[in-house]
Amino acid sequence: MTPTPEEDLSTPYAIEPAAVRRFHEEGFAKLSGAFAASTVEAYEPEITAKVVELNTQHLPLAERDTYGKAFLQVTNLWQHSAKVRELVFSRRLAGIAAALLGVPSVRLYHDQALYKEPGGGITPWHADQYYWPLSSDRTVTVWLPLQETPAEMGPLSFAAGSHRFAFGRDLPISDDSERALRQALATQDFPVEETPYRLGDASFHGGWTFHRAAPNRSAIARRVMTVIYMAADITVAEPTNDFQRSDLAMWLPGTKVGGVPGSPLNPVLYG
């Protein structure tokens, strides 16, 4: 029997030990049926409506740089929609994040809707944690597509094991990161996983896991909701670049270096 969306969001996901091992060994885990397809279908219209409402990128694709062509990015939708908040704050997602990280509790960093338009370009190789002023790698991002995502739409791909590779951690997402990391990752023979997502599938990757996505060659937008979780006891580190200084002010307001994020934007969601 298919659960209601409310049941699905609150019921723990039976995560297999093999998925936890893969996360630690390869830096990511892709979970089949993280949600029922009907649950994702119930939340997609509201997420898309908020992306349309809150999007500030209105340049034609041809006039944007590589980052701008990669996707439309709208952050912290949960602050603008009670329905989106249900998904972002769900114990199911936060419970999976805690299990993969091997920690008793996690708190929210922030959410992001990433919509790759028809004709949208590559998402260059990068590691998310370059942008985060956090003291450890006890972070995980869920990548939840809001439609079936075949190869032509540019599903997320990962370099398995790259979370232990130090090269490139000082590179922001750009043409330069794509060139440098494509070459460096190839020399290390990291297997690249790039497989389609069925509706309800989700992947979880660590902050230092290198990942990218191909262009969207389909006629519809590749709609994805992401949520970033961090260990509840993680502390703020001294920012090392302007992006981290911006993130500290925006997503960790009032938290000093060495302190545990405790603002209303960073609630404990599990544990």
Split at pLDDT 50, 70, 90, the class of 43 is very high
Residue 53 domain-assigned (yes or no): yes
- In this predicted structure, what is the pLDDT of residue 127? 98
- In this predicted structure, what is the pLDDT of residue 205? 98
Residue 7 domain-assigned (yes or no): no
Residue 179 domain-assigned (yes or no): yes
Q: pTM of the prediction?
A: 0.97
What's the whole-number mean pLDDT along residues 89-108? Answer: 98
What's the whole-number mean pLDDT along residues 58-76? Answer: 96
With beta carbons less than 8 A apart as the criterion, state whether 101 and 142 touch: no
Residue 111 domain-assigned (yes or no): yes
Taking alpha carbons only, the member of 158, 63, 167 closest to residue 119 is 63
> Cα(265)–Cα(257) distance, rounded to whole angstroms?
17
- In this predicted structure, what is the pLDDT of residue 1? 83
pLDDT tens readout for residues 227-259: 999 999 999 999 999 999 999 999 999 999 999
Residue 9 domain-assigned (yes or no): no
pLDDT tens readout for residues 160-188: 999 999 999 999 999 999 999 999 999 99
Average pLDDT, the chain: 97
What's the whole-number mean pLDDT along residues 125-132? Answer: 98
In the block, tokens 């970033």 appear at 228
CATH code: domain of residue 244: 2.60.120.620
Taking alpha carbons only, the member of 269, 200, 261, 225 closest to residue 46 is 225
**Whole domain around residue 74: which residue ranges?**
18-251
Residue 243 domain-assigned (yes or no): yes
Split at pLDDT 50, 70, 90, the class of 72 is very high
Residue 263 domain-assigned (yes or no): no
Work out how many domains the chain is built from and give that number. 1
